[in-house]
Amino acid sequence: MNTNTTVNIETNMRLGMLIAIIVVMLLTILPITANGHSLKETSARITLRDGQVEVRVLTDFKRWKTRLQSNKAWLLGDVKQIMPLGLTVKETNKFVAKLLSEETLLMINNQSVPLTLNIISVPQKSTEHHEYTELILTAEHTFLSVEQINIRFSKSLGAVHASFVKPKYQLVTAGSSANVSF
């Protein structure tokens, strides 16, 4: 073999080794980055029914409470009032209810509709060690037809992944099927 052939073989071997290392690294790293984690953001489901709107907010309450008690968040305008430290559960619920009623805006057909906090659930631990609390707010309306819904959440909740639901109800008798068009 001549020198050029030997150099080409060595270069090709090094290139092959480099590609193999990159492939192994990618195969090792990708499962870690693609591993499913729950979103750290808050999520909400807004359900529109005849004469009623239900807003279910699922949030990491511990994280939210920390943000509500942060002087930095207050200075940046993310919270309007700092939640005092050492509140009892009842006082915390009262603070949250007041905050949500003042800072959550629901508009139906361009008219403001007041929301009322009905339930603050007991935090549920997830597999990622976050404690998610469900806040259920409701509002009643008198619109015969809802053309538009607009909702603004408290800035302190951060980004909110919202889904809007307008159920269609139909009785499905035993042994029959339902045909629904959207």
Please give the full DSSP string across the chain, using - where no structure is assigned: --HHHHHHHHHHHHHHHHHHHHHHHHHHHHHHHHS----SSEEEEEEEETTEEEEEEEEEHHHHHHHHT-HHHHHTTS-SSPPPTT--HHHHHHHHHHHHHHH-EEEETTEE---EEEEEPPPEE-TTS-EEEEEEEEEE---SS---EEEE--GGG-SEEEEEE--------TT-------
CA distance 57 to 133: 8
pLDDT score of 169 more than 90? no
* Strands 52-60 and 42-49, sheet pairing: antiparallel
Residue 150 phi, psi (nearest 5): -135, 130
The pLDDT-based confidence of 11 (bands split at 50, 70, 90) is low
Residue 139 above 60 pLDDT?
A: yes
Mean pLDDT, residues 104-127: 85
* 165: Cα within 13 Å, side-chain hemisphere: 15
pLDDT at 7: 56
Q: Is the pLDDT assigned to residue 30 strictly greater than 60? A: no
pLDDT of residue 181: 76
7 and 127 Cβ atoms separated by less than 8 Å = no
Contacts of residue 102, defined as CB under 8 A and 6 or more positions apart, other chains included, come to 80
Determine the average pLDDT of the residues in 25-51: 66
pLDDT of residue 32: 44
Which of the residue ranges 13-17, 43-47, 142-146 would you say has the lowest mean pLDDT? Answer: 13-17
Worst-scoring range by mean pLDDT, 47-61, 64-78, 121-135, 140-154? 121-135
Which pair of structure tokens corresponds to residue 57? 């907010």
pTM exceeding the 0.75 threshold for the entire prediction: no
Work out the percent of the chain whose per-residue pLDDT is above 70.
74
Q: How far apart are CA 41 and CA 39, in angstroms?
A: 5
* Highest mean pLDDT of the ranges 2-16, 19-33, 73-87: 73-87
Q: Which of 28-37, 82-91, 141-150 shows the lowest per-residue confidence on average (mean pLDDT)?
A: 28-37
pLDDT of residue 124: 63
* Of 112, 122, 114, the residue nearest 138 (C-alpha): 114
Q: Is the separation of the CB atoms in 136 and 45 below 8 Å?
A: no
Unique residue bearing structure tokens 């403001």: 112
- Find the mean pLDDT for residues 90-95: 93
